[in-house]
Amino acid sequence: MRKLLIILFVFLIFFAVDFKQVRAVNELEISPRIIDEKAKASEKIERTIKLKNNTGYKMDIYPVVNDLSMSDGKQEFLDPSKLDKSLSLARWIRIKRAAIQIMPGEETEVPFSVEINQSAVPGKRYAVVSFPNASNRPLAEAKIDKENVPQIMINVEIEDETVEKAQLINFSALAKTHFVWPIKFSVELKNIGNVSFKPEGQVLIYNRREQYLDSLKFNDAGESIEAGGQKKIYLDWNAKKGIGKFKAKLELEYGEKYRRDLQDTIYFWILPIPFLLFSIGGLFLATVFLIIYLFKKTYRARHHASKHKQVQEDGVLDLKNKL
């Protein structure tokens, strides 16, 4: 008899606790209880949540959003502030965080949306939105771990819509003609996809006879370009030899899912200062010699014409001078 009473007592306690939890959930009626969606990066999901107060007193509801881990078949709350925006569903959820006051028997609608991050990693994400009734937010948040508060489950599957695409904005030498070393090149790229990438490649240098001279490794520092970002990367060629017209050919690759390439070609001149001084000096001397030569030639022609004119004026043919 005593054992039967103990069993009955334990049962009543368990039933009372369970009834209290069920009653707490039923006091606030929520619809829908589950939101299950598929979406792509940068998309927005908009819904309306209905809350109904089934009690005889006013409720102050404070929505609390947490990420949920479903690993090993267990549910575990995760702190959204410790997760990256590309992974945290809770950080994408937009819902009123201030107190929602619901009078007895009243029903209200709460706007709800999920703004998928543009860098969202493909896969399934889980979150829970709890609706504890309390006089302030700290008390409401404390209830979540201690009581069975009303909540809804959010399941969003991020579809794999990876877009790896780059645009070559500009490839150029910083000057068309270079007088000193090094020769500087600029490559400007824009990421018009939705995931970051790390461009790799080289710049090949040729002379005017299309003979290969040298190569420069592109993006030696391993810089990444984020989705929607734009970046300039500079290269220096410091061979310290060569004169005349040259060609630079850009060959780039990027992408993890699929390898893509970008190419461009430019031309530039190298005229070192010593070469220019030598050329200018040579041109100056050539000009001086040309002036002297023309002066002497003009002087002789005029002198000859003057003598010939004098003979004709005298009317005497000077055969001696002519011979």
Whichever domain contains 57, its CATH number is: 2.60.40.10
Number of domains in the chain: 3
Domain co-membership, 288 together with 252: no
Q: 280 to each of 241, 268, 275, 289, how far by Cα in Å? A: 20, 21, 8, 14
Specify whether 124 is located in the same domain as 239.
no
pLDDT at 10: 40
Whether residue 129 is found in the same domain as residue 189: no
Domain contains 181: yes
In the beta sheet, which residues pair with residue 21? none
Q: Do the domain assignments include residue 204?
A: yes
Task: Give 65-134 as a DSSP string.
Answer: EEEEE-GGG--EEE-GGGS-TTT-SGGGEEE--S-EEE-TT-EEEEEEEEE--TTPPSEEEEEEEE--B-
Say if residue 123 is in the same domain as residue 225: no
Distance of alpha carbon 19 from the chain centroid: 54
User: What is the per-residue pLDDT for 147?
Assistant: 86
Is 316 within the bounds of a domain? no
What does the pLDDT profile of the chain (323 residues) look like in tens digits? 554 444 444 444 444 444 444 445 589 999 999 999 999 888 999 999 999 999 999 999 999 999 998 765 556 777 777 788 888 999 999 999 899 999 999 999 999 999 999 888 889 999 999 999 999 999 999 998 888 899 999 999 999 878 899 999 999 999 999 899 999 999 999 999 988 999 999 999 999 999 999 999 999 999 999 999 999 999 999 998 889 999 999 999 999 888 999 999 999 999 987 655 556 766 766 777 778 777 777 767 666 666 655 555 555 555 555 44
Same domain, 30 and 150: yes
Instruction: Say if 17 falls within a structural domain.
Output: no
Same domain, 200 and 295: no
Please indicate, yes or no, if residue 4 is contained in any of the structural domains.
no
112 lies in which domain range? 22-158
pLDDT tens for 254-306 read 998 889 999 999 999 999 876 555 567 667 667 777 787 777 777 676 666 66
Output the pLDDT for position 295.
75
Residue 121 included in any domain: yes
| Residue at a domain's end among 103, 124, 158 | 158
d(CA 96, CA 155): 19
Query: Within a domain: residue 323?
Result: no
Residue 312 covered by a domain: no
CATH code at 258? 2.60.40.2360
Report which of 212, 202, 303, 172 is spatially closest to residue 262, judged by C-alpha positions. Answer: 202
